[in-house]
Amino acid sequence: MFGDCFEFLYSLNQKFMPLNDSNKKFGQVWSCNEWDPLEEIIVGTVENAVVPVWSPAVASTTPTHAKWFFEKHGGQPFPDEMIEKASIELNGLVKVLEDLDITVHRPKPLDFNTEYKTPWWESKGLYSAMPRDVLLVIGDTIIEASMAWRTRYFEVFAYRDMIEEYFREGARWLPAPKSTMADDFYNPNYDPATPEIDGVRQFVISEKEVSFDAADFTRCGKDIFVQKSNVTNAMGIEWVRRHIGSEYKVHEVEFGDQHPMHIDTTIVPLAPGKLMINPSWVERSQLPSMFDSWEIIEAPEPVNPFDSALYFSSDWLTMNFLSVDEKRIIVEENEAPLIDLLKKKGFEPIPIPFRNFYPFGGSIHCATTDVRRNGGLESYF
Give SS3 for 365: coil
- Contact pick of 109, 195, 221, 362 for ligand ABU (by CB under 6 A): 362
* 32 flagged as catalytic: no
CA-CA-CA-CA torsion sign (7, 10, 12, 18): negative
Question: Whose Cβ is closer to ligand ABU: residue 125's or residue 302's?
Answer: 302
CB of 66 to ligand ABU, least distance (A): 11
Sheet containing 328-332: which strands, arranged edge to edge?
322-323, 328-332, 348-352
- Contact pick of 162, 366, 367, 371 for ligand ABU (by CB under 6 A): 366
Site string for ligand ABU, 274-313 (x = CB under 6 A): ---------------------------------------x
φ, ψ of residue 317 in degrees (nearest 5): -60, -15
CB of 3 to ligand ABU, least distance (A): 29
* 65 flagged as catalytic: no
φ, ψ of residue 232 in degrees (nearest 5): -125, 125
Question: Whose Cβ is closer to ligand ABU: residue 153's or residue 316's?
Answer: 316
- Residues 184 to 243 in contact with ligand ABU, rule: CB under 6 A: 215
> Which residues have a Cβ under 8 Å from the Cβ of 65 and sit 6 or more positions away?
none
Select which of 32, 105, 133, 213 is catalytic. Answer: 213
* 366 flagged as catalytic: yes
Question: Whose Cβ is closer to ligand ABU: residue 17's or residue 82's?
Answer: 82
- Based on the shown chain and the rule CB under 6 A, indicate whether residue 361 belongs to the binding site for ligand ABU: yes
- Based on the shown chain and the rule CB under 6 A, indicate whether residue 355 belongs to the binding site for ligand ABU: no
Helix runs in the chain, H state only: 2-16, 56-59, 67-73, 80-99, 131-134, 160-168, 234-243, 336-344
What burial class does residue 196 get, using C-beta atoms within 10 Å of its C-beta: 0-12 exposed, 13-18 middle, 19+ buried?
Answer: exposed
Select which of 133, 223, 257, 366 is catalytic. Answer: 366
What is the enclosing helix (H) or strand (E) of 136?
strand 135-138
| Integer Cα distance of 256 and 140 in angstroms | 33
Query: Which residues does the annotation mark as catalytic?
Result: 213, 262, 366
Please give the residue ranges that form the binding site for ligand ABU (CB under 6 A).
Answer: 215, 261-262, 264-265, 313-314, 316, 361-362, 366
